[in-house]
Amino acid sequence: MIDTHCHVDFKVFNRNREEVIARAREKLTAIINSGASLGGNRRTLKFAEEYPEFLYPTLGFHPSNASKADSTVIKQAFDEINLHIDKAVGIGETGLDFHNLNDEKAKERQIKVFENFIDLAVEYEMPLVIHAREAEGQALKMVKKHSNIPDVIFHCYGGDLETAKLIVNENYYISFSTIICFSEHHQSLADELPLSCMLTETDSPYLSPFKGRRNEPAFVEEVVKTLARIKSRSPTEVDQITQNTAAKIFSL
């Protein structure tokens, strides 16, 4: 199995990161750690060196951070991504997050940063990992303008079915996190979409499938089991399909 989106660089893992990685190694082929800030990108690159051929980095800037960050910090993030692009397997996470956001200037900042990341994915011909929340349609509209991005992943997708079908029709991918284990909405989305367009992730440390426990990459097994139940397939078959898809997209 592959956890295609997690944040083991976050400080919540500082006390037992090695144990978390060890548990992941027991079950998973690889994890993809998503940089969400300047510091996050730096930590992700560091851990990719510490866990070679298991932890792979994508480099980005979370849209909520883009709303608030100083422009010099964002520029520095782009400079460092360009400098270390050969170590990354994808661009992101990046995108639009308009949840509880009524500040139009903040939205404009997100849109501008997202546009710049789209340009990076085009320039380097790398997969683009999109975080879209209450802005899925606009994110899709923006990325559709560029036909030469190798692959587009809407990570932890939680939008409506209509937009999900439009995403799949563009031959883009939808990644289901561990939220599918307890969300009827996400289960209904998975029921309606082809398994060939799906990836698995935890988005850990968030969205734990186990009440009272912090999420971690090993728990992506619960996503595979839930998809297997929804699709009336064996977990092994779901694992093979989603793992092969992830390996192809990120050149693992």
| pLDDT tens digits for range 16-73 | 999 999 999 999 999 999 999 999 999 999 999 999 999 999 999 999 999 999 999 9
Residue ranges of alpha helices (H) inside the chain are 17-27, 38-50, 63-68, 71-83, 104-124, 136-144, 161-169, 184-192, 220-231, 235-249
> What is the structure's pLDDT at 223?
98
Q: Is the pLDDT of residue 91 over 90?
A: yes
> What is the structure's pLDDT at 59?
98
CATH number for the segment(s) 2-249: 3.20.20.140
Q: Return d(Cα 220, Cα 203) in angstroms, integer.
A: 9
Q: Region 4-19: what's the mean pLDDT? A: 98
Q: Is the pLDDT of residue 114 over 90?
A: yes
Q: Is the pLDDT of residue 163 over 90?
A: yes
pTM (2 d.p.)? 0.96
> What is the structure's pLDDT at 26?
98
In this structure, the chain runs to a length of 252
> What is the structure's pLDDT at 147?
85
Token code pair at residue 4: 């295609």
Determine contact, residues 142/128, Cβ cutoff 8 Å.
no
> What is the structure's pLDDT at 108?
96
Average pLDDT, the chain: 97
